[in-house]
Amino acid sequence: MPDTSLLETFPSPATSFPFVIEHTSEEFTSVCPKTGHPDFADITLRYQPAPNGTCVELKSLKLYYQSFRNEGIFYEAVTHSIRDHLVDLMNPAWLQIISNWKGRGGIRSVIRADFGDVPPAYLGR
Amino acid sequence: MPDTSLLETFPSPATSFPFVIEHTSEEFTSVCPKTGHPDFADITLRYQPAPNGTCVELKSLKLYYQSFRNEGIFYEAVTHSIRDHLVDLMNPAWLQIISNWKGRGGIRSVIRADFGDVPPAYLGR
Amino acid sequence: MPDTSLLETFPSPATSFPFVIEHTSEEFTSVCPKTGHPDFADITLRYQPAPNGTCVELKSLKLYYQSFRNEGIFYEAVTHSIRDHLVDLMNPAWLQIISNWKGRGGIRSVIRADFGDVPPAYLGR
Amino acid sequence: MPDTSLLETFPSPATSFPFVIEHTSEEFTSVCPKTGHPDFADITLRYQPAPNGTCVELKSLKLYYQSFRNEGIFYEAVTHSIRDHLVDLMNPAWLQIISNWKGRGGIRSVIRADFGDVPPAYLGR
Amino acid sequence: MPDTSLLETFPSPATSFPFVIEHTSEEFTSVCPKTGHPDFADITLRYQPAPNGTCVELKSLKLYYQSFRNEGIFYEAVTHSIRDHLVDLMNPAWLQIISNWKGRGGIRSVIRADFGDVPPAYLGR
Amino acid sequence: MPDTSLLETFPSPATSFPFVIEHTSEEFTSVCPKTGHPDFADITLRYQPAPNGTCVELKSLKLYYQSFRNEGIFYEAVTHSIRDHLVDLMNPAWLQIISNWKGRGGIRSVIRADFGDVPPAYLGR
Amino acid sequence: MPDTSLLETFPSPATSFPFVIEHTSEEFTSVCPKTGHPDFADITLRYQPAPNGTCVELKSLKLYYQSFRNEGIFYEAVTHSIRDHLVDLMNPAWLQIISNWKGRGGIRSVIRADFGDVPPAYLGR
Amino acid sequence: MPDTSLLETFPSPATSFPFVIEHTSEEFTSVCPKTGHPDFADITLRYQPAPNGTCVELKSLKLYYQSFRNEGIFYEAVTHSIRDHLVDLMNPAWLQIISNWKGRGGIRSVIRADFGDVPPAYLGR
Amino acid sequence: MPDTSLLETFPSPATSFPFVIEHTSEEFTSVCPKTGHPDFADITLRYQPAPNGTCVELKSLKLYYQSFRNEGIFYEAVTHSIRDHLVDLMNPAWLQIISNWKGRGGIRSVIRADFGDVPPAYLGR
Amino acid sequence: MPDTSLLETFPSPATSFPFVIEHTSEEFTSVCPKTGHPDFADITLRYQPAPNGTCVELKSLKLYYQSFRNEGIFYEAVTHSIRDHLVDLMNPAWLQIISNWKGRGGIRSVIRADFGDVPPAYLGR
């Protein structure tokens, strides 16, 4: 199961704003619960830490993503779960999760889940 | 004929918004009703499920697209039909269909049909 | 001379909006009236048909563009003429012509002419 | 010295608006006044002619750009000078100059200078 | 330690606005304070000088960036420090720092720190 | 069934050699005989006509390719069949068929079938 | 453990030669035996069936590749094992395995293992 | 009709060999003799002048290519004619003509015609 | 100083040949001995292990490359040193070092140093 | 006039072979002797130093290239002159000059001049 206990934070250095952080993992994989075949995605996390808030530590984020490796879970639920876990962890000003899935049956998919007041410049990107 | 009975849905996992889903099929083909020659397109479906709404199931979407294979139908009508069928199926918060056609006589074409209150960030993309 | 009698229309299938159509010809050529040398451009036509309006037929558009082949005419006038001819033909909700010219003397050029209330998402694209 | 006497105009064909013209020269070169080494840039001119206004003639623009070839002048001053010269020449509705410089010491630079009420769709492009 | 004494300025040539300057260094490197391994980034500085304000001199900017070479410092702190140092140096109308880091453990990162009233056209770019 | 009667030839204009002709169709589609799902490929035909030999006529080649549209046939057999049909038609000096298939289950495939003494410069391309 | 019992074959349709088949999987993943972290690669299989020989069936190849998912195995051994397994399965005229690994610590790797008399045109590709 | 009287030469500066010259025109257009529609190609001329031989002058080559503009002529004949005209003009050590045609009915075409002893390194390029 | 004591090996798994290994580091940096400015390169190591020979361990290769970080050394000497060090370490069948340097003063450089009987397919790549 | 006195050498570090050096300048400019307009090219120098031979110093090469800036000289002569000057300077094992010129009148040009026994792997590249 996805293991949120792997996630760690550190205090944000930002004393003024906007301060926007974006991490793109090109090595995400989980398993389709219907067919048992593996799924592959690029996952982008984009967020603005809260004032005096925290940032997710990069290596802990990698290990957390790896905990989906043998999990049977749909595209939409992957995206929604990561959003919820990271919002719980950091309580950021705003946050986006964008999952970009390799093709299945000739169809590529992108799922976007947002939290908070995402500035218009980041919508749809 | 395009067969909407092939389309299936599942409940959206989204409990908060925006939650935007995008599927791009790179293997759409139909037939030109005027010349009888095949047409080829990439078809992008982009939508936000209604609160407590449904999502289109990916394999059923593929089979539905395949049902256009030997249908004589113009670019504009393909785009409009898919829009209407998927709005009927899911009644989403908003929805876009973008069909991007390979060249005919040295002219490439893109047709966009929207439903509902599409956020400005997704217009023209 | 550019021959607008070649242009044909068909009724728009759109019963709801926005419905945006884009045709890009990669094979436009005319002649520079100053030097007599040929000019080459990609021409993009983008428009929204009027409610219960018409759409330009694709093959007739190709033949119309071909009628500029031996015409001596400047970049700016090509763009403006096509805009006027197609607005006269369809009386659309809005329309754009974007001509993108291959380099002359190391300078590439793009000319944009709009008609009506073009949505901001399409400006500058 | 940059020679503005080379610049010529012709009457704009535009009778309606917006009408936007863009010329990109990929062959601009001047000299760094500090080191004496040559600098190389792509220069984009983008503008909307005034109603009943004028357009800059393309070959004259090329010759004007060539007159910077052996001029010792900084990136910022090149950009600002071209802006001023072309505003003086055409008095357009609005105008932009964007100079995009090849790397020096591993640093690439882009300088943008605007005149008048540039539509938001063209800012930052 | 990052050495701000290396930074030099010159008077901005801009007498009208907007006037936007962008420098992208493709050769930034610092050291991860946790692992001791080197980190590599592209750093973009984008700003509008204040009226009658100053611009940072390009070679001095290069030397300042080089002073991070053997510094143990996190991505977020690099970005925030450069922002603060350059705001102190120039007191510009507005300023952005965008650091784009090569992958670590399959994750690429982009950090953006802004100062002042950045026009919407430059947000998220 | 693939219909070789659609294929037409015309006399080669070549009076000296090498003379090499290459046609790439980006719109080939057939059906997987196992799953019933459509397959999509780019098909490249490359050949040297025999001295005083013939060339395949382009439009007839298009119609012949279209005759595979609803044929249940494997990648390898498509490639081999086209090779045999075109060798029978033209009896060329040499000939290559290269079929490049869109992904199935995350796997892209390329099949090459040659006839005659293909020059080394064309092998593996 | 990699499961060669998943692999299936079918008779080659080739009655003449060269006949070269290439399958590229973009979704290969195994586990580093030293660190326990996942590794990701594109794997290309390229071969010429023996006269009257066999071809590997595409879906069985996919399932065989998936059986490496949780295997702790080095890059070099993955490449060598796949080579041996497929040579045993098909006894082809010649065969190549090319594994192209995503970066680790800023280093990308490609491993090539050949069997039999690979034509020069395919070496180093 | 193609007008070879437009072609001019100048003495080759080469005193030692190999010395290879390549000119690629991206603005070639002729007319299909069957349909009357325009065809568009990139034409590459590559040759080695004879010792104490001549080179084709670049502007004269451009004017010669322009003389095909309203000529009804097939792809293969265009390629063969240019080969013959330029061999007659320069009598080079060797020469290649490669015509690369934009798509017709979804098929792109490349025709290559050689003269003399073309080095293997240039075959198939 | 470059520290060869960091380099480690493991036994090659190859029992048959050719078996070719390629590692490309995109994060190499050293210092110009003349100017004191940092230099940046991609370094490709390509080799075939000797029969019953050894392979360089990937992490040790990374640490060895990092030991050049503050070394004053020219492009040519970097390339030659790495070649000599890795030949001494592994005594491979053959080996190549290709260093690809970012631009200095508008000039990009590539240096290639080979050892042993490199197959023609790998020369010049 | 091109100033060969600017060129400097240093002893080659190579004690074994092949050792191949390649420098590509993206900032070469000269003047067309016929029209007086500037020409722009990428110039690639590729060579193998003689045993116990010399290498051209990079900064001196840059200054030598800059000395063509206001020289009226044809493409072919530029290429031939640089070849001769650098062969005289270094007396290398072999050497290539490849000049790649920006378009004039829609025609791009590449000129190659070789000296000595260039390995086949480098011909035509």
pLDDT at res. B14? 83
Answer whether F37 sits within 8 Å of B66, measured CB to CB: yes
**22-41 in G: which are within 8 Å (CB) of E?**
37, 40
Given a contact as 3+ CB pairs under 8 Å, which chains touch G? A, E, F, I
Give the model's pLDDT for residue H15: 80
CA dihedral sign, ordered J77, J78, J79, J85? positive
Strands (E) across A1-125 are located at: 9-11, 19-31, 38-48, 54-56, 94-104, 107-116
In this model, does residue H1 exceed pLDDT 80?
no
Preferred mutation among H85, H107, H117 to probe F, highest tally of F CBs within 10 A: H107
Would you place residue B124 in the very low, low, confident or very high pLDDT band (cuts 50, 70, 90)?
confident
**Catalytic residue set of G:** 32, 39
Question: Are A10 and A61 contacting, i.e. CB atoms less than 8 angstroms apart?
Answer: no
Cα separation, B124 vs J21, in Å, equals 48
Which two tokens mark A7? 């996630």
pLDDT at B26: 94
Whether J105 shows a pLDDT value over 90: the answer reads: no
pLDDT tens per residue, range C8-22:
999 998 877 789 999
pLDDT > 70: what percent of chain E? 100
**Residue linked to tokens 């116990």:** J52
- Catalytic site residues of D? 32, 39
| Whole-number pLDDT of residue B93 | 96
CA distances from E56 to D32, D124, E42, E82 (A): 16, 20, 18, 13
Q: Cβ contacts (< 8 Å) between I19 and chain G: which residues?
A: 76, 80, 111-114
* pLDDT score recorded for residue A59: 93
Mean pLDDT for I3-29 is 92
Catalytic residue list contains C39: yes
Per-residue pLDDT reduced to its tens digit, B1-43 = 789 999 999 999 888 778 999 999 999 999 999 889 999 999 9
pLDDT at C104 over 80: no
Task: Give pLDDT tens digits for D54-84.
Answer: 999 999 999 999 999 999 999 999 999 999 9
How far apart, in whole angstroms, are the C-alpha atoms of residue A41 and residue A46? 16
pLDDT value of position G1? 72
Q: Does E37 contact G105 at a Cβ distance shorter than 8 Å?
A: yes
C14 vs B: CB within 8 A: yes
| Annotated catalytic residue within E32, E42, E84, E114 | E32
What is the rounded distance in angstroms from the CA atom of residue F54 to the CA atom of residue F87?
A: 11
Stretch F23-35: mean pLDDT, rounded? 94
pLDDT bin (cut points 50, 70, 90) of residue F17 is confident
Q: Which two tokens stand for residue D116?
A: 């008048």
CB contact under 8 A, F66 and B29: no
Q: Indicate yes or no: CB of J26 within 8 angstroms of CB of I104.
A: no
The pair of three-digit structure tokens given for residue E7, joined into one six-digit string: 């930074």
pLDDT-derived band at G75 (thresholds 50, 70, 90) equals very high
Q: How many CB pairs under 8 A join G and I?
A: 70
Q: What is the fold, at CATH topology level, of the domain defined by H4-14+22-118?
A: GTP Cyclohydrolase I, domain 2 (3.30.1130)
Q: Using CB atoms, list chains with 3+ pairs below 8 Å to chain D.
A: C, E, I, J
- Model confidence at I105: pLDDT above 80: no
pLDDT of residue B113: 96
Cβ of H119 within 8 Å of Cβ of J114? The answer is no
Residues of H in contact with F15 (CB under 8 A): 80
CB-CB contact of G86 with G49 (8 Å) = no
Nearest CA in chain G to F114: G18
pLDDT of residue D31: 96
Whether residue E94 has pLDDT greater than 80? yes
What 3-state DSSP class applies to I76? helix
Q: Is F58 on the interface with G (CB under 8 A)?
A: no
> Which of B22, B89, B92 has its CA nearest to residue B50?
B92
Task: Find out whether the peptide bond into C18 is cis, omega within 30 degrees of 0.
Answer: yes
Best mean pLDDT range from B99-103, G104-108, I91-95:
I91-95
Q: Flag whether residue A19 sits within 8 Å of chain E, measured between CB atoms.
A: yes
| Nearest-angstrom CA–CA distance, I86 and I2 | 12
E102 to chain G: closest CA residue = G106
CATH architecture entry for B4-122: 2-Layer Sandwich (3.30)
Q: What is the pLDDT of residue F78?
A: 95
Categorize the per-residue pLDDT at F88 as very low, low, confident or very high, splitting at 50, 70 and 90: very high
CA atoms of H75 and H82, how far apart (whole Å)? 11
E109 touches chain I (CB under 8 A): no
Residue E105 has pLDDT above 80, yes or no: no
Backbone φ and ψ of D77, nearest 5° = -75, -35
Touch of H by I (3+ CB pairs closer than 8 Å)? no
What is the per-residue burial (b if ≥16 Cβ within 10 Å, else e) of D56-89? bbbebbbbbbbbbbebebbbbbbbbbbbbbbbeb
Nearest to F102 among A37, A40, A106 (CB): A106
Q: Hey, which residues of F are catalytic here?
A: 32, 39
> Considering all CA atoms of chain H, what is the largest pairwise distance in Å, rounded to the nearest integer?
48
Are F76 and G58 an interchain contact pair (Cβ–Cβ within 8 Å)?
no
Structural contact between residues A28 and A41, judged by C-beta atoms closer than 8 angstroms: yes
pLDDT of residue D18: 85
pTM of this structure: 0.94
Which DSSP string do the residues of B31-56 spell out, in sequence order?
Answer: E-TTT--EEEEEEEEEEEPPTT-EEE
Measure the CA–CA gap between E38 and E32, rounded to whole angstroms.
6
**Is it true that the peptide bond before A18 is cis, omega within 30 degrees of 0?**
yes
Chain H: closest CA distance from residue B41 (Å):
12
Alpha carbon of I108: minimum distance to chain G alpha carbons (Å) = 21
Q: So what's the architecture of C4-119 in CATH? A: 2-Layer Sandwich (3.30)
> Which entry of A32, A42, A84, A114 is annotated as an active-site residue?
A32
Q: How far is CA H28 from the centre of its chain?
A: 10
- Asked which of H17-21, H70-74, H84-88 is least confident by mean pLDDT, the reply is H17-21
Helix (H) / strand (E) containing G26: strand G19-31
Asked if residue J1 has pLDDT above 90, the reply is no
pLDDT 10s digits, E57-75 = 999 999 999 999 999 999 9
**Band (C120; pLDDT cuts 50, 70, 90):** confident
Distance (Å, rounded) from C-alpha D3 to C-alpha J125?
41
pLDDT recorded at residue D121: 87
Residues with Cβ < 8 Å from J72, sequence gap 6 or more?
J30, J31, J32, J33, J36
* Higher pLDDT pick, B113 / B124: B113
| Chain centre distance of CA D108 | 18
Q: Which of these CATH numbers, 3.10.20.30, 3.30.1130.10, 2.50.20.10, 2.120.10.30, describes I4-118?
A: 3.30.1130.10
Q: How far is CA C4 from CA C29, C46, C55, in A?
A: 17, 18, 15
Residues in chain A where the model's pLDDT stays below 70: none
For I74, name the nearest residue in chain J, comparing CA atoms only: J13
Res. J123 pLDDT band, cuts 50 70 90? confident
Domain boundaries, chain I: 4-118
**In sequence order, what DSSP letters do the residues of chain E get, joined into one string?**
---GGG--EEE---SSS-EEEEEEEEEEEEE-TTT--EEEEEEEEEEEPPTT-EEE-HHHHHHHHHTTTT-B--HHHHHHHHHHHHHHHH--SEEEEEEEEEEETTEEEEEEEEEE---GGGTT-
Over residues C23-29, mean pLDDT: 96
pLDDT on residue E17: 76
Q: Which helix (H) or strand (E) holds G22?
A: strand G19-31
Chains contacting F (3 or more CB pairs within 8 Å): A, B, G, H
Chains D and G physically touch (3 or more Cβ atom pairs below 8 Å)? no
What CA–CA distance (Å, rounded) separates D49 from D56?
A: 9
Q: What is the pLDDT of residue E57?
A: 94
- Is it the case that residue I35 has pLDDT exceeding 80? yes
Is the ipTM higher than 0.90? The answer is: yes
Chain E residue closest to D109 (CA)? Answer: E23
User: If DSSP codes are grouped into helix, strand and coil, which group holds residue C24?
Assistant: strand
Q: How far apart are CA G24 and CA F111, in angstroms?
A: 12
**Touch between chain A and chain J: 3 or more Cβ pairs under 8 Å:** no
Quick one: closest CA in E to G37, which residue?
Answer: E105
Q: Which residues pair with B97 in a beta bridge?
A: B45, B113
Annotation: CATH topology of D4-108? GTP Cyclohydrolase I, domain 2 (3.30.1130)
pLDDT at B109: 96
Token pair in block for residue D23: 């010329």
Give me the residues of chain D with pLDDT under 70, please: none
Cβ of E61 within 8 Å of Cβ of D107? The answer is yes
Quick check: C85 contacting D, CB < 8 Å? no
Give chain C positions within 8 Å (CB) of D121.
120, 123-125
Mean pLDDT value of segment J90-96: 97
- Residue B17 has a pLDDT of 76
What mean pLDDT comes out for the span C81-101? 97
| Widest pairwise Cα distance in chain I | 48
Report residue I97 as tokens. 């070092």
